[in-house]
Each structure stands twice: as C-alpha cells, then as structure tokens.
Structure 1
Amino acid sequence: MLLLIAIVLFALMLIGVPIAISLSLASICAIVLSAVPVPLTVVAQRFFTSVDSFALLAIPFFMLAGELMMTGSMAKRITNFAFACVGWSVGGLAQVSTLASMFFAGISGSGAADTAAIGKMMIPAMEKKGYDKAFAASTIATAGTIAVVIPPSIPMIVYGVTAGVSIGALFTAGIMPGILIGFSLMFLNYFISKKKGYDKEKSTFQFPEFRKTLKEGIWALLLPLIIIVGIRAGVFTPTESAAIAAAYALVVGMFVYKDLKLKHLPEIFQRAAVTTSMVIFIIAAANLFGWILTADQIPQKLADLIIRVTENPYMILLLINILLLIAGCFLNASAAITILTPLLLPLTNAVGIDPVFLGLVIVVNLSIGLITPPVGLDLFIVQGIANVEFGRLVRAIFPFILLLAVDLLIITYFPDLSMWLPYMLGD
C-alpha cells in the first residue's frame, strides 16, 4: 500500500499537479483501496481537525505583517539600514541583500515573502552595478532561506503544532543558527565578489549615514525584538505575537511612516489570504497523508528498521539529514514537516535526541529545499524577477547550496550552538 500511494504521489507531482492536491488524491487512493473499509468522510474530518489549532493562527498574521511591510516603506528602510552597515564593503550590494534578509526574517517568517521583498529592490540595483544576473538572483534566493530559521518562522510553528513542543523554544533555538548561516553567506559573497571584481570602487563605513538610516528605520527594526522579547518574557504567546506584528506593521505604516494608505488594504488582505490558504491547504493535505502512514504503523516500522542498523545518534542524524535533503527537493516545507515529523519522532525519542533540536534540524534542512530544484520556491521567484535562464541560475546557486550543507552539518553535530540559549532560558 505504501509503495502504491508513493507512486501515485510522485506521478501526480511529475505532471505538475499542485502538492496539496497530489497529497489529497494519493491519500484518497489509499483510503479507497484499503483492506479495512474507511468512509471518505474521514477526509473532511482530517482536513478540519488538522488546522483547528490556535497556534496555526500565527500563520495568517505573519503573512499579513509581511504584506503590510512590503507595501509600505518598512522593507525599504530595513534595506537602507543594511546598506549603511555593509554596503561599503567588497560585494556591497550582495552583502546588503543578505543582511537585509536577516533583518526581514525577524518579521515575515516566510522565505518566499523575504525573497520577493528584497529581490524586487536589490536584483535590479545589482544588475545596474554590473553584477552577473545569475549571481544576483542566487544571492537573493539563498538569503531568503534565512527567513525560515531566524524567528518568527512559519515552518517552526507547523513543527511545534505537529510535534507538540514549545514554539517559543524553537524560536529561541533558531537565533544562533540563523546568524551563522547569514554570516557564512556574507563570507561567500565577499569571496565571489572579490574574485569577479564586483563593487570595485573603494568606500568606507559612514557613521552619519548609519545613524540616519537607523533613525529612519528604527520602528521597523524594533519589531523582531518586540516579538522575541515578548514571547520569552511571557507577555504574549507566539500566536498573539503574530497578531501584534500585523497590528504594529499597520499602525507604523499608516501613522508613523504614513506611506500605507487605506486604498492599499483590500489588495494586501487579499494577497495575505491567498498565501495563507495555500499554506493551510498544504498542511491539511499533508496531515491526512501522515495520518494514513501512521495508521499503517510506518513510523514504528521505520524506527525499528533504523535502530536495527544503528543506535548511534550521530549516524541517525546523518540518515535523517539525507532523508530531509531529498524530501526538500520535492516537498514544500510545511508538507514535509507534517508528513515526516510523526515518522521521525519515535526514532529520535528512542535515542534521546531533544525534540526541539530535531525541529531545528528539520527546519534548517528544509530551508535548503527552497533553493534546490525541481520545486525550490525561491528559485522560481528570483528567476521571474531577474529574467535569467533556469540552468544558469542552478549553476550559480550550487556553491551556496554546498555552503548551506556545511552549515547544516555544523548545526547538527554541534547542538550547543543552537540549544544553549533555550536551555539558559529554561526550555
């Protein structure tokens, strides 16, 4: 049965059927062909129960916050501040793109939103400065992966709901890995830019410009701090923080920066609603698919099989990484988390791996999937913005994928890098 639904799923994906519909049809196929009669009403029941969660309300609010920031000038002000910080260095515009993505990641929680917001501003600017289009697009796409690691992160919310672990602890655990990934990408940007001669004109750090852009962007830059400190201090829950983020972005855009108008709101709400619907549909379909796997005791069988091969946590983590990297090439992050978490938790619990740490490893793995073909969402976003051939883009992004794989190994095998902060805060 498992082989059959896997064949159906991948056949549907190969012919271009959207992932949520592919998962739904494969699940319905399994139900219809099941040896035990199961009424099809279970499909609607699983769809409803899988998204009937207070924690998942954070998703539409963070989506809305990102849309509000992109429509107003908040994203531009963040980029201007990043330019004042690192725009003077070798490969300055590439460095600005990465640093701006790190700042924006602390607000949107979505790799696609981050990539689109920064890409629309920075890719044309990089082209005018003489950067190769494929390199410019690769820089933006890779920087967009940071958005699902640095909190708030929508995939972390999905994992927290699926695994039943603290979303606040996941958010805290993502801070240091996100910084590691961001700084390592900036190092690679420096190396490539110096080799290819991008931004050759010499410049120096200008404190007056830094002070000016900090003053202009302080309201936008404060939002990530408000979210993290508020959650950790127990002032509000992660879900409430999402609502606060959306309200904050609305108030600042309309009454502080005054560039967000009432006429913009219908389109903003529509875009946020469409994006949220896509994510929620994927979660619901993946939950149904995962329920079928669980009913067939696939998680227990997988755990028993791997433990018979090895009980070494390091080897198990390596196998998990390989599985997740492959899954990330074909599955949306929310779908992969919803399907694979119930499979992996029994295995990692048996060898004493912290479920919060497992969640971090899963999210970092699947963030790489945003830039790996054939379904890397960030790749298609930047390809459309830069109008570059897909083959050229894949070749240009390959060094970035290798670097992210090295970062993944560091995060996986040096758990104290990410877990010291949650442990210090009592998680």
Structure 2
Amino acid sequence: MTLVMLIAFFALLALSMPVGYALVISAGSAILWQGTIPLVLVVVKLFQPSQSFPLLAIPFFILSGSLMMSGKLGEHLVQFAARMVGRFHGGMGQVSVVGSTIFGGVSGSAVAEASALGAMLIPWQKREGYPPAFAAAVTASSSVIAGLLPPSIPLILFSTVSNVSIAALFTAAILPGLMLAGGMMLACYFSGRLRNFPRLSEPAVRQKLGYVLLHAMPALLMPIFIIVLLRAGIATPTEVSVIAVAYALVVSATIYRDLTFASIYAALINTVITTGIVMLVITASSLVGHVLVTERIPTLIATWATEVLGAPWLIMMMMTMIMLTVGMFLDLPAAVLLLGPIFVAIGTTIGIDLVQLGLVVCINLSIGLFTPPVGTTLFIGAAIAKVSIGSVIKELWPFYLVSFTVLLLMMYVPALTIY
C-alpha cells in the first residue's frame, strides 16, 4: 500500500499537480487499492485534523501578520534597519537580513516574508548599485528566518505531530534564529567588503535613529509579547494568536493610522487563501500518515536505524540527508507534516530531545526553500529581481555555509536548543 502511494505521489508531482491534491489522490488510491478499508474512512481521516483546536492559531497568526505587513509598518522597519546597519560594508544586504528577522516575528511565514520584503528591498538595492542576483540571494535566504522565530507556522505544525509544547519550541527557536541572522549579516559584510558594494553615506543620527526606533517598536515588541504570554502561562497558543490579531488591529488603527476596510478585506482574503493551502496539506498528510501507520513504516524505519546505524549522531545525519533532499522538492509545511511523525518515532527511540529535533527539522527544511530545483523563496527572489535562477544560486554559497553551520550546531550541541 505504501509503495502504491509513493509511486502515485511522485507521478502526480511529475505532472505538476499541487502537493495537497497529489497527497490526497495518492493516499486515497492506495487505500482503495488495498480494498479492505471502507471508503468512508478516507473522508473521516481528511476531516479529523481540521478539528484540532491548536491549529486555529495558524489562521489568526497569518491574519495578524497580513494586517501589520500591509501598511506603513514595512516602511518603518526598513528605515530602522537602514539606520542601524546601512552604513557598514554590505549594509543594504544586512538591512534585508534585519528586516527579515523582524518580519519573522510578525508573519511566521517565509514565503510571505520573501514576497513582502523582496518587493521593497530588491528594487532598492538594485537602484543603489547592488548586483540584482545578490539582492535576490539575500532575500531568498534570510526570509527563512521566519521559519524559526515566533510565531513560526512550521513550529506550530511540528507541535501538532509531536505533542511538544508550542511555547517550548518558540522559546528554544529564538537563539538559533538570531544565530542564523547574525551569520547572514556577517556574510553580507564580507561580501560587501570584498566586492566593494556601495554603502549608505548618511550617518545614523541619534535623533533620527530614535524616531525610526519609536515607529518600529510595535513590530519589535510583537514576538516578545507572544513569548511572554506563552511562557508565563497567561494564554494558550490559540488565545495568543487571537490577541495578536487584536494587537495588529489596534496598532494599525491608532499608531500607524493606515487601517482601512480595503486593507482588512485584503488581509482576510490572503488569510483565507494561505490557510486553505496549509489546511489542505494538513488534512492530506493525515491520510498519508494513516497509510504509513497501518503498515508500521515509522516503527520499522526507527528499528532499522537503531539496529544498522546504531550511533545517534549517525542517525541524526541520516535524517538530515533525507530532510535536505525532501526539502528541495516539497514546500515546508508539507515536508514537516510528512516527515515529522517518522522522525519523532526515531528521535523517541534513540533519546533525542523532541524540542531539539523540532528545530533541526525546521532548519533543515527551511534550507530547501532557497535550494533548487523547487526552492519557493529562491524563485520569488529571482522573479522580483528579474534575473535567472542560476545567477542567484552563484550568490547563495555564503548563505548556504552559514545555514549549514547553524544546522550542525543545532544537531550536535543540544545545549543551544534545550537551554
């Protein structure tokens, strides 16, 4: 049954069918091919995941991010980042990284971040004399920071398949996210210095810095606000997501004063579309999971890994290679939901902390977002910069080096993730 499902799934992907539909059709076909499971079970398995209360956090976090990113917030964040790092070597590239780090604490989605920030920063960098391919590479790679920093959608999904506390995942992800941001800023600095990229000539005047900091503060406080509410036990993740929407509405209406019925409507439409895509993958992954569990695939893989590989570091390396390969072809939410249950079974068997495993999974699969042949943020950056994918890939090697360094540290230095 599993073999039939895999053959059908990859055949449908080769025909360019969207991942969610390919998962439903391949898993449903496998169940029907076996013939011993009632067809009504397919419908039940598709319906059950949508009834999960914690998953309500996803549309509300998407809505709060859409509300805050659709107005003046982006402009103030870019101004703040430019004042902070624009005067250094590779400064405008560093502005993209700082902006991505802050936006990651608002949107929780790498794709949304690449689209919103890329549309602002890539043309700006091109006008200032930066190579278009480099501008696209910075946007494509730094946008994946959103996959780690709260309110990360991938971490919420991993929590649903592993029963790990969302608050614990959010808290543990802060340090890796900041390490990734710091490493990418260093990559921009050395690239700018070696290649003599232009710098912003205007110094960071203290009064102006204070002004832009004041206007960017609502966005800077949002991830802190989320973590405090979760870690203090004041609210559940779902309740925090609703509070985040209220926070975004109040900030947009009273501080930035750019909240309109048109912007609310656009944010709601974006939320419905994005949530629909994510929920289709979630429900389809439940069906796939049923097929795998029925044939005890996670247990068999875990047993094989412990008996053949033995050492936990070798097993972790095997999982990493699988995730890097899958991440190059599947979008991040789908990959988390497909691989999460299998790797949770393996991690539990060999004694890996599931919080650490969750971060390793998200970093691994995030790298796939800017890796060919199906790198989503890679394609977004190249499209906005109007350059070829090949030219962007040539500019990405420093950012791959940083990402793999952080990944290895997360894998083999547990104290960095479970502190």
Question: TM (normalized to structure 2)?
Answer: 0.97
Q: Distance in 1 between matches of 2:188 and 2:58?
A: 32
- Which residue of structure 2 aligns with residue 424 of structure 1? none
What CA deviation, in whole Å up to 9, does each residue of 1:294-322 have, x standing for no partner?
A: 11110111011111112211111111111
Q: Distance in 2 between matches of 1:64 and 1:125?
A: 27
Q: Distance in 1 between matches of 2:220 and 2:344?
A: 36
Q: Distance in 2 between matches of 1:121 and 1:341?
A: 34
Q: Give 1:202 shift.
A: 5.5
SS at 1:330 equivalent? coil
Q: Give 1:401 shift.
A: 2.1
Structure 1 residue ranges, 4+ long, deviating more than 4 angstroms after superposition: 200-204
Structure 1: 5+ residue runs without aligned partners? 421-427
Q: Distance in 2 between matches of 1:8 and 1:400?
A: 35
200 and 66 in structure 1: CA distance in 2 versus 1, 3 angstrom threshold: closer
- Which residue of structure 2 aligns with residue 296 of structure 1? 295
- Which residue of structure 1 aligns with residue 60 of structure 2? 61
**Where do residues 9-408 of structure 1 align in structure 2 (5 Å cutoff)?**
9-34=9-34, 36-200=35-199, 204-408=203-407
- Which residue of structure 2 aligns with residue 413 of structure 1? 412
What CA deviation, in whole Å up to 9, does each residue of 1:164-219 have, x standing for no partner?
A: 11010000110000000000000111111112211256564432222111112222
Q: Give yes or no for contact 1:167–1:238 (8 Å, CA) kept in 2.
A: yes
201 and 356 in structure 1: CA distance in 2 versus 1, 3 angstrom threshold: closer
Q: Distance in 2 between matches of 1:352 and 1:49?
A: 30
**How many residues were matched structurally?**
419
Q: Give yes or no for contact 2:118–2:136 (8 Å, CA) kept in 1.
A: yes
What CA deviation, in whole Å up to 9, does each residue of 1:109-156 have, x standing for no partner?
A: 111111112111110100001111111011011110000111111011
Q: Give yes or no for contact 1:325–1:368 (8 Å, CA) kept in 2.
A: yes
Q: Distance in 1 between matches of 2:200 and 2:117?
A: 23
Q: Give 1:384 shift.
A: 2.3
Stretch deviating more after TM superposition (333-342 or 140-149): 333-342
Name the % identity: 38
Q: Give yes or no for contact 1:286–1:336 (8 Å, CA) kept in 2.
A: no
Stretch deviating more after TM superposition (181-190 or 286-295): 286-295
Partner amino acid, structure 2, of 1:29: S
Q: Give yes or no for contact 1:71–1:260 (8 Å, CA) kept in 2.
A: no
Q: Give 1:358 shift.
A: 0.9
Partner amino acid, structure 2, of 1:96: V
Q: Give 1:71 shift.
A: 1.4
Structure 2: 5+ residue runs without aligned partners? none
103 and 8 in structure 1: CA distance in 2 versus 1, 3 angstrom threshold: same
SS at 2:214 equivalent? helix
Q: Distance in 2 between matches of 1:283 and 1:412?
A: 26
- Which residue of structure 1 aligns with residue 7 of structure 2? 7
Partner amino acid, structure 1, of 2:227: I
Q: Distance in 2 between matches of 1:347 and 1:201?
A: 50
SS at 2:197 equivalent? coil
SS at 1:419 equivalent? coil
SS at 2:378 equivalent? helix
- Which residue of structure 2 aligns with residue 423 of structure 1? none
Partner amino acid, structure 1, of 2:368: G
SS at 1:331 equivalent? coil
Q: Give yes or no for contact 2:147–2:362 (8 Å, CA) kept in 1.
A: yes
Q: Distance in 2 between matches of 1:104 and 1:228?
A: 16
Partner amino acid, structure 2, of 1:171: F
Partner amino acid, structure 1, of 2:71: G
Question: TM (normalized to structure 1)?
Answer: 0.95
Q: Give 1:58 shift.
A: 0.9
Q: Distance in 1 between matches of 2:176 and 2:359?
A: 9
SS at 1:49 equivalent? helix
Q: Distance in 2 between matches of 1:93 and 1:132?
A: 11
Q: Give yes or no for contact 1:175–1:418 (8 Å, CA) kept in 2.
A: no
Q: Distance in 1 between matches of 2:239 and 2:76?
A: 25
Q: Give yes or no for contact 1:371–1:401 (8 Å, CA) kept in 2.
A: no
Q: Give yes or no for contact 2:133–2:392 (8 Å, CA) kept in 1.
A: yes
Q: Distance in 2 between matches of 1:195 and 1:323?
A: 35
Q: Give yes or no for contact 1:89–1:203 (8 Å, CA) kept in 2.
A: no
Q: Give yes or no for contact 1:104–1:147 (8 Å, CA) kept in 2.
A: yes
What CA deviation, in whole Å up to 9, does each residue of 1:17-55 have, x standing for no partner?
A: 000011111101211211x51122222211111221111
SS at 1:56 equivalent? helix
114 and 201 in structure 1: CA distance in 2 versus 1, 3 angstrom threshold: closer
